[in-house]
Structure 1
Amino acid sequence: MMQSLIDFVREHYCTNDFIPLHAPVFSGNEKTYVTETIDSTFVSSVGAFVDRLEHDMAAYTGSERAVATVNGTAALHVSLRLLDVGPGDYVITQPLTFVATCNAIAYCGATPIFVDVDRYTLGLSPKALAEWLATHAYRDDCGYCRRREDNGVIRACLPMHTFGHPADLDGLVRVCQEWGLALLEDAAESLGSTYHGRHTGTVGDLGTLSFNGNKVITTGGGGMILADQALGERAKHLTTTAKQPHAYEYVHDELGYNYRLPNLNAALGCAQLEQLEAYLAEKRQLAADYAACLAGSDVTFITEPEGCRSNYWLNGVLCADRDHRDQLLKVTNEQGIMTRPIWQLMNRLPMYANSPAGDLTNALWLEARVVNLPSSVRQETEEPS
């Protein structure tokens, strides 16, 4: 299986050179728009391309508002603040995620609570969430959800759409409504993915996107907050140092952040967004080709959940066990094919080792088996006519 996989990847990317896990492609108007931005001298946090990217991203995702930020972690941080997460609070999230999800919680002075994922979505499990809350939480007379052990307020639930595969949002919404929890979707990896026809990041109270260099489209660095009009206005205010409009005075009315996306980056993003549908079509075709290549082998290709449309940001397989996983990683990387394991569980990291956690059976099972395969769009992809 390993040699046939290596042969498939090299044939797909038409090279015997090193093949990365996910590299950006710049085949459209990127240079034109960036040059236009430089010529305008508006290269920082104010400019036409910032406004355009926010408008176009809101239209694409179906969100009422989209607010650009300097990166996806900043988008998560501000979104948690919008949900009133603060020192001493708890936020429930999944242990199987990129560290930025948990770091944003810690930036607020809050503590993550780790609840298990579902194997078929790789995302936070509504069943595990309901079971953990029933055992460890209660709602007080004011409707706040509190942790039984110390009466701390559990303010929000933060699932992540792993590798672009949507989590079970209907189930999560039901549990969050029952327990009075805000729902913030970390959709950093799932631009272009839909859950029963709705774009990820638009089902919960808030959603966030990432445009890092390894994402489906990139602004170099960058992120986006998806929100309704009211929260969107407040997000814009907080990310622009909480500065009040004035002809010349500097008036800041609360603690804000210098989190705005520069116009130079937004120009790159606008050009990338024009090509998104072509990128998604190729990525979904690559996923289908991987599935066909690996059919009947000793690994299982990870497919989109039922009723969902995944962007297949990263294509992944399930190995039989950790030894099999490690062998696949070793052989492919030695052959110049970049493959990677899933992240180490967050509760294993030193800064989160003392955070509360439930039974993480599924997360542990996946940690020992998942390998991600090269998933870049090929350089010859062109904008659809």
Structure 2
Amino acid sequence: MKYIPLSIPNFIGKEKEYVLDAVESTWVSTGGSYIIRFEEEISKYLNIEKAVAVQSGTAGLHLGLKLLGVNPGDEVIVPTLTFIAAVNPVKYLCAEPIFMDCDDSLNIDINKLEEFLKNNCELTKEGLKNKNTGRIIKAIVVVHIFGNMADMESLMNIAEKYNLKVIEDATEALGTKYTEGKYNGKFAGTIGNIGVYSFNGNKIITTGGGGMLVARDIKIAEKAKYLSTQSKDDSLYYIHNEIGYNYRMTNLQAALGVAQLEQLEKFIEIKTKNYKLYKELISEIDGLRLLNFGQNTRPNYWFYSLFIENDKISRDELLKKLKEKGIETRPIWYLNHLQKPFEKNYAYKIKKAKYYWEKVLNIPCSTNLTEEDVKFVVEKIKKSII
């Protein structure tokens, strides 16, 4: 039986050459030329001054929140509809998340965010105070869901108005950028105070594991590198003046990343082509449609979200039928404000997130997906709902 996975890596470039070169150099751990090269080439691609290679996107988010001044007892605004890794680092710092709803793009609902800040918070000399809890809200984590850019212009205006720091979780959005407006040409992850990318195995490019942190302020990026390498002040005599972390990417991972980055624009072309073909074919099936990506952007089209309007079949029934036909699909993450570790945290008017969680199924989107594969998937979807 033919099997089509949801999202797998695509090694069509110099991955083997670079990784073997790193092995032969014996620099396989958290030092080596490929780490520096990967950072430099990511910086060049994103048109920024400095990038810091880290162990994972989660590690980058943890460092980012810490560097933006989130302290124990503070609060951080996060979306409920996202992978839990965007939320867990808030707890690492003994701070508390406040959960926000999504809009029809699946990204954070800007209108509800502003409504919450206006009606529930007040600016004080200590910062923005949550009138319900008495805690200071330090930052917003905005996630560009499935590579779809959130409304950063509105979000940054709100952040400035309420004196909030912004960390962009661009772990799914490497390559997504604005093509019009105030941030024309700016990539996801380079607009807020800090941006974080992930190179997990299912991302548009992969290092197996690993991530990258970028910052508008180069001093913050430099401090992130310092903290990620165990806050080493003297590498010979092992002097450490701050608590640090073992968060540095390995040279082997970076070698893979350099080769993958060389293919990124090609991968985006493939993702775009397959998305458009899916969209055209699925539009002919009553009760189903692919969710759109934002206007005024060039998305990376990382994941394709099938919206099930058809009452004849549920999300889970369709998932099961497609699995039986050799097609791997995935529901959206379970909403974070309902997760056991966050049950007691405040969630503001969550409605659309629950609606989309029940109705959306992610369908195969690998960059090695052929036109024949796309047609095969759609045909099996069609037969599953008849």
Question: Would the TM-score normalized by the shorter structure come out above 0.5?
Answer: yes
List gaps (5 residues or longer) in structure 2: 179-183, 372-386
Kindly indicate whether residue 350 of structure 2 is the aligned counterpart of residue 360 of structure 1.
Answer: yes
AA aligned opposite 1:162 = I
Q: Give the alignment partner of residue 232 of structure 1, picking from 221, 224, 231.
A: 221
Aligned partners of 1:156 and 1:321: how far apart in 2? 39
Aligned partners of 2:234 and 2:282: how far apart in 1? 58
Aligned partners of 1:313 and 1:180: how far apart in 2? 32
Q: Give the alignment partner of residue 199 of structure 1, picking from 183, 187, 198.
A: 187
Counting only pairs closer than 5 Å after superposition, residues 226-375 of structure 1 correspond to structure 2 as 226-227=214-215, 228-246=217-235, 248-297=236-285, 298-320=287-309, 323-375=313-365
CA gap of 1:274–1:84, structure 2 versus 1, over 3 A, is: same
Contact 1:125 1:172 in 2 (8 A): no
Contact 1:115 1:129 in 2 (8 A): yes
Kindly indicate whether residue 199 of structure 2 is the aligned counterpart of residue 211 of structure 1.
Answer: yes
Q: After TM superposition, give the deviation of residue 324 of structure 1 in Å.
A: 2.8
Counting only pairs closer than 5 Å after superposition, residues 123-162 of structure 1 correspond to structure 2 as 123-142=107-126, 144-162=127-145
Q: After TM superposition, give the deviation of residue 125 of structure 1 in Å.
A: 1.6
Counterpart of 1:81? Answer: 66
Q: Give the alignment partner of residue 41 of structure 2, picking from 56, 62, 66.
A: 56
State the 4+ residue runs in structure 1 displaced beyond 3 angstroms. Answer: none
Kindly indicate whether residue 98 of structure 2 is the aligned counterpart of residue 113 of structure 1.
Answer: yes
Q: Give the alignment partner of residue 72 of structure 1, picking from 45, 57, 61.
A: 57
Contact 2:57 2:199 in 1 (8 A): yes
Q: Number of aligned pairs?
A: 363
Aligned partners of 2:244 and 2:212: how far apart in 1? 17
Kindly indicate whether residue 76 of structure 2 is the aligned counterpart of residue 91 of structure 1.
Answer: yes
- Segment of structure 1 superposing worse, 256-265 or 191-200: 191-200
Q: After TM superposition, give the deviation of residue 306 of structure 1 in Å.
A: 1.1
Contact 1:25 1:379 in 2 (8 A): no
Q: After TM superposition, give the deviation of residue 244 of structure 1 in Å.
A: 1.1
Contact 1:69 1:75 in 2 (8 A): yes
CA gap of 1:321–1:115, structure 2 versus 1, over 3 A, is: farther
Aligned partners of 2:2 and 2:259: how far apart in 1? 28
Q: After TM superposition, give the deviation of residue 274 of structure 1 in Å.
A: 0.8
Aligned partners of 1:39 and 1:326: how far apart in 2? 48
Deviations 1:305-349 (A, max 9, x none): 111111111111111278532232121111110011111100111
Q: Give the alignment partner of residue 185 of structure 1, picking from 168, 171, 185.
A: 168
What CA RMSD, in Å, does the superposition of the two structures yield over aligned residues? 1.5
AA aligned opposite 2:92 = Y
Aligned partners of 2:225 and 2:356: how far apart in 1? 38
AA aligned opposite 1:202 = T
List gaps (5 residues or longer) in structure 1: 1-15
AA aligned opposite 1:224 = M
Aligned partners of 1:138 and 1:292: how far apart in 2? 48
Q: After TM superposition, give the deviation of residue 101 of structure 1 in Å.
A: 0.5
Aligned partners of 2:310 and 2:352: how far apart in 1? 13
Q: After TM superposition, give the deviation of residue 63 of structure 1 in Å.
A: 2.3
Q: After TM superposition, give the deviation of residue 296 of structure 1 in Å.
A: 3.3
Kindly indicate whether residue 19 of structure 2 is the aligned counterpart of residue 34 of structure 1.
Answer: yes
Q: After TM superposition, give the deviation of residue 58 of structure 1 in Å.
A: 0.9
AA aligned opposite 2:231 = A
Aligned partners of 2:81 and 2:219: how far apart in 1? 31
AA aligned opposite 1:99 = I
Deviations 1:327-382 (A, max 9, x none): 3212111111001111110011100111111001111111111110100011799x
Aligned partners of 1:173 and 1:128: how far apart in 2? 15
Q: After TM superposition, give the deviation of residue 136 of structure 1 in Å.
A: 1.6
Q: After TM superposition, give the deviation of residue 210 of structure 1 in Å.
A: 0.1
Contact 1:132 1:358 in 2 (8 A): yes
Counterpart of 2:4? Answer: 19
What secondary structure sits across from 2:97 in the alignment? strand
